[in-house]
Structure 1
Amino acid sequence: MTLDELTAAIGGTIIRPGDSEWEAARRFHSGIGEPAVVIRASSVDDVRGALRYAAAERLDVMVRSGGHSAWGQVPGGVTIDISALDDVSIDGTRVSVGGGAQWGAIARTLGAHGLGLSSGDTASVGVGGLTLGGGIGWMVRAWGLASDQLVGAQLVTARGDVVEVSASSHPDLFWALRGGGGNFGVVTRFDFEAHPLDGVVHAVFGIDGDAAPALRVLADLMKTAPRELTVTYMDVPPMDPNAPAGAMISAVWIGTDEEAARRALAPLRDAPGIIEREIGVQQYPDILLQTPEFDPEHPMPGFVGGNTLLRELGDDPIDRLVAFRAQNPASVVLLRSLGGAYGDVAQDDSPFPARDATWFAMAGAFDIPGMLDDAGRAAATAAWDAIEALGAGVYGNFTTSTDPSMAERMYPPATMARLSAIKREWDPGNVFCRNHNVRPV
């Protein structure tokens, strides 16, 4: 199939370099791409046609929904934009979501029906990328990952075939979709089991002085905290107006029982150096972040660091994370509590690593000219490597690296072997390689 034949066959739009829409089409939330062609699909049949064209031309495929992935910057190939596939249907607690939908819109639609799903923290993040990579969100301790709530999917294969996937239909492929990334096809519909949700209690605490004692209190608190409670620690420099500078702890309690939330948070609120800034009932969509789109005049700097899944937030990782932030003035440190429902899923039941982890940790120095020289980069790299060595796995959705070796760090050998075998069955030509790539073996 030629591009002209595809243009005549589909209802979507095909945009090539030089077309009037090209500059807009190649921009995505996190950057500007240089694909060979952008295909804006308006239907599942459009996706099928796009994949048949890519196969005929032997072109790699990049799938775009929310557009937050760094893989959009890799030149060449076909970008299939499925953002128009964003329909939502609700049947009781069963929710079907188009593969191009974004979490903010989904949260608002579900909220109107008194329902919720554990999603990412950002409204514009795509349902597809987040779910296929796992999806650590504010309800992770009560409901698990976004992928843990997945009960079915419609997928278009590299050959252009449409398959329905669930625990009873293509169970190996269903297993792979719950954390194995976009390696196996284009998911055009996700089926989730949602949960009753009438609101959340959202709390924010500041930290006055050394953050290490506060983090020790927080770590102790979360060892026995109810599953309704999930917390995040973040320490950022004064760079982004969407993220207030300094060290702070945010907490979300599922449900509207503010008194229960206050009781659960009392040990933290009463600890020295902790300042209560706000607490109250909110609707879940209102706490999702609104992040600015890529600005070519002010591109994001490089990032020297990474993330890891910690089995325990003990003194050593706390001290190292606090020291990392202190030693790098332009840096960020983030922690998110895990455990609970996240750990209820057996390790072999999904590809997502480190189900025994109780915290997710991230740290990185911003590679800003004049603030980070070669010695500084080397020091930040060494400091992060020492932190990652304490962890049990890497969360692929939270890395901007396009290093082909990243997938080997994300999945244990046995998991990677199983993913590779499934990849060989469904995408033997590795058409879907613009991701943390699992190669068909």
Structure 2
Amino acid sequence: MTDDIVTARPSNAAEVADLVRRAQHDSLPITIVAGGHGPWSHAPAPGMRIELADLSDVEIEGLALDGEDAVVHIGGGAVWGDVAAKLGADGLAISSGDTASVGVGGLTLGGGIGLMVRAWGLAADQLVGAQVVTASGGIVETSADENPDLFWALRGGGGNFGIVTRFDFLAHPVTGIAYGEYVITGDAGRVIRAARDVMRDAPRELTMTYMDVPPMDPSAPAGARISAVWAGDDVERFRQVMAPVADLDGVDAEYTTPAYRDILLEMPEPVEGAELPPCFIGGNGLFTRLDDELIDRLVAFRAAYPASVVFLRSLGGAFGEVPQASTAFPARTATWFVMAGAFDIPGVVDDDARAAIRADWERIEAGRLAEYGNFADTERPDAVPGMFTPEAHERLRAVKAQWDPQNVFRRNHNIPV
């Protein structure tokens, strides 16, 4: 064993397989970087670091016919901003994450709650096949018909089962999208309730996101706002559906019809040698409903801690139509994703404040169905079962035993045999 870091940038699946065999021979732990958006990607770890950035091709299979989905092959190192730009030029889109620098690999393997999640489901729901380098250094194809158990595990089970060097998705025709920004200067609780009520009977074309962030967050403007994405070009219908939110006092609404790529957030590139951001005290959950008590707790949490974040995204629609057992992803009955937490700023947050933040978050999370692994940024082995249904967790362990019995791929939300 060595404390050195060996970095490699393969350009094809065969080279990835060679690197896995080499790491096995030399007893080197493996870290996979597919996009480099999350904190684990930038943390130094001894062993072999396999960066997939050169596997980033986006290829549309054949000619996409009007009104029909098209099969798209995407390299395991691609990022969603580049994918959205490429597909948008051909009038296509895939429901991805909301940030351009997010890797296709990490987001998809963890599920992928994107900006079109109600219209098209998770990123993983749009996956129809994949090429995978296994723990033994082999290369296999997987789909619903070929190695189906492995394919099932890839759709929400994380990076536990192999290195995906190519993803095969169904991309959807987009005649246009409508986008609404609703800046909130009034009663946030009242606005969230109105948004919740809209979403109860909203068409599946509509996905809504609420975010309230402090000035220190570089990924979005400070303050409270709702962003709403309508999967279609019927702007007038979109306005009508969103009117109960837009017409409230203390809400300033703006409507645009941008390209899908243009609504993805842009995160600054990490600066080499820069200090790591402060720790985050809080968490996330998939909730059956957004009731008044939960809303009140979220609003109170944000008010109590100035350096805190509250983030909500509507679910349902296509997301909820996928049978629970069809993928490894939990909580298909959830109608909202919720995240809340405060930054542990040295010199600002003391032990009493930390305890108060944790206690408030525990009261919020008490009603959740499951935790969403893609938004959990620390390795907590005891928490992993809570990211799946009990049945899915047991099945994932069986798939792990078949494809990675030595736990070669373990730097993730790990599912040991």
Q: Same fold (TM over 0.5)?
A: yes
Q: Are 2:31 and 2:45, in contact at CA under 8 Å, matched by a contact in 1?
A: no
Q: 1:222-267 CA distances to partner (integer Å, 9 max, x unpaired)?
A: 0001111111111111113441111111111112221111111111
- Give the alignment partner of residue 280 of structure 1, picking from 256, 270, 275: 256
Match of 2:108 in 1: 131
Secondary structure at 1:204 match in 2: strand
95-104 or 290-299: which moved more? 290-299
- Give the alignment partner of residue 61 of structure 1, picking from 30, 37, 53: 30
- Measure the CA separation in 1 of the matches of 2:169 and 2:195: 32
- Measure the CA separation in 2 of the matches of 1:231 and 1:66: 25
Counting only pairs closer than 5 Å after superposition, residues 6-85 of structure 1 correspond to structure 2 as 36-72=5-41, 73=43, 75-85=45-55
Q: Which amino acid aligns with 1:318?
A: I
In the alignment, structure 1 residue 196 sits paired with structure 2 residue 166:
no
Match of 2:265 in 1: 289
How far has the Cα of 1:272 moved from its partner?
3.0
Q: Which runs of 4+ in 1 moved over 6 A?
A: none
Q: Are 1:111 and 1:198, in contact at CA under 8 Å, matched by a contact in 2?
A: no
Match of 1:327 in 2: 304
258-267 or 289-298: which moved more? 289-298
- Measure the CA separation in 2 of the matches of 1:297 and 1:89: 36
- Measure the CA separation in 1 of the matches of 2:349 and 2:4: 32
- Measure the CA separation in 1 of the matches of 2:169 and 2:80: 13
- Measure the CA separation in 2 of the matches of 1:419 and 1:35: 32
Match of 1:90 in 2: 60
Counting only pairs closer than 5 Å after superposition, residues 298-309 of structure 1 correspond to structure 2 as 298-309=275-286
- Measure the CA separation in 2 of the matches of 1:427 and 1:39: 22
- Measure the CA separation in 2 of the matches of 1:422 and 1:240: 39
Q: Are 2:81 and 2:100, in contact at CA under 8 Å, matched by a contact in 1?
A: yes
Q: Which amino acid aligns with 2:13?
A: V
Q: Are 2:302 and 2:310, in contact at CA under 8 Å, matched by a contact in 1?
A: yes
Q: Are 1:133 and 1:397, in contact at CA under 8 Å, matched by a contact in 2?
A: yes
- Measure the CA separation in 1 of the matches of 2:230 and 2:241: 9
- Measure the CA separation in 2 of the matches of 1:347 and 1:226: 22
How far has the Cα of 1:350 moved from its partner?
0.7
Q: Which amino acid aligns with 1:272?
A: D
Scaled by the length of structure 2, what TM-score is found?
A: 0.95
- Measure the CA separation in 2 of the matches of 1:381 and 1:293: 30
Identical amino acids, percent of aligned pairs: 56
- Give the alignment partner of residue 427 of structure 1, picking from 381, 399, 404: 404
Q: 1:402-429 CA distances to partner (integer Å, 9 max, x unpaired)?
A: 2222312212222111000000000000
Structure 1 pair 264–160 and aligned structure 2 pair: CA distance change class (3 A): same
Q: Are 2:186 and 2:251, in contact at CA under 8 Å, matched by a contact in 1?
A: no
- Measure the CA separation in 1 of the matches of 2:97 and 2:10: 24
Q: 1:196-246 CA distances to partner (integer Å, 9 max, x unpaired)?
A: 013311111111232111111111110001111111111111113441111
Q: Are 2:218 and 2:267, in contact at CA under 8 Å, matched by a contact in 1?
A: no
Q: 1:123-167 CA distances to partner (integer Å, 9 max, x unpaired)?
A: 111100000000000110010000000000000101111111000
84-93 or 426-435: which moved more? 84-93
- Measure the CA separation in 2 of the matches of 1:110 and 1:209: 38
How far has the Cα of 1:319 moved from its partner?
0.6
Match of 2:237 in 1: 260
Unaligned 5+ segments in structure 2 are 65-69
Match of 1:155 in 2: 132
Structure 1 pair 74–427 and aligned structure 2 pair: CA distance change class (3 A): farther
Q: Which amino acid aligns with 2:277?
A: M
Q: Are 1:70 and 1:402, in contact at CA under 8 Å, matched by a contact in 2?
A: no
Structure 1 pair 311–53 and aligned structure 2 pair: CA distance change class (3 A): same
Counting only pairs closer than 5 Å after superposition, residues 217-228 of structure 1 correspond to structure 2 as 217-228=194-205
Q: 1:365-418 CA distances to partner (integer Å, 9 max, x unpaired)?
A: 001122211111111011111111111011111121122223122122221110
- Give the alignment partner of residue 369 of structure 1, picking from 346, 349, 352: 346
Q: Which amino acid aligns with 1:262?
A: R
Q: Are 2:281 and 2:344, in contact at CA under 8 Å, matched by a contact in 1?
A: yes
Secondary structure at 2:128 match in 1: strand
403-412 or 110-119: which moved more? 403-412
Counting only pairs closer than 5 Å after superposition, residues 339-354 of structure 1 correspond to structure 2 as 339-354=316-331
Q: 1:292-342 CA distances to partner (integer Å, 9 max, x unpaired)?
A: 122343531110000000100001110111111011111000000000000
Give the number of equivalent residue pairs. 408
- Measure the CA separation in 1 of the matches of 2:221 and 2:184: 12
- Measure the CA separation in 2 of the matches of 1:237 and 1:188: 37
Q: Are 1:71 and 1:402, in contact at CA under 8 Å, matched by a contact in 2?
A: no
Unaligned 5+ segments in structure 1 are 1-16, 18-33
- Measure the CA separation in 2 of the matches of 1:62 and 1:399: 18
- Measure the CA separation in 2 of the matches of 1:246 and 1:292: 19
Q: Are 1:136 and 1:145, in contact at CA under 8 Å, matched by a contact in 2?
A: yes
- Measure the CA separation in 2 of the matches of 1:242 and 1:408: 30
- Give the alignment partner of residue 173 of structure 1, picking from 137, 150, 163: 150
Q: Are 1:150 and 1:193, in contact at CA under 8 Å, matched by a contact in 2?
A: yes
Structure 1 pair 241–351 and aligned structure 2 pair: CA distance change class (3 A): closer
- Measure the CA separation in 2 of the matches of 1:414 and 1:76: 34
Scaled by the length of structure 1, what TM-score is found?
A: 0.90
Q: Which amino acid aligns with 2:45?
A: P
Q: Are 2:302 and 2:308, in contact at CA under 8 Å, matched by a contact in 1?
A: yes
Match of 2:67 in 1: none
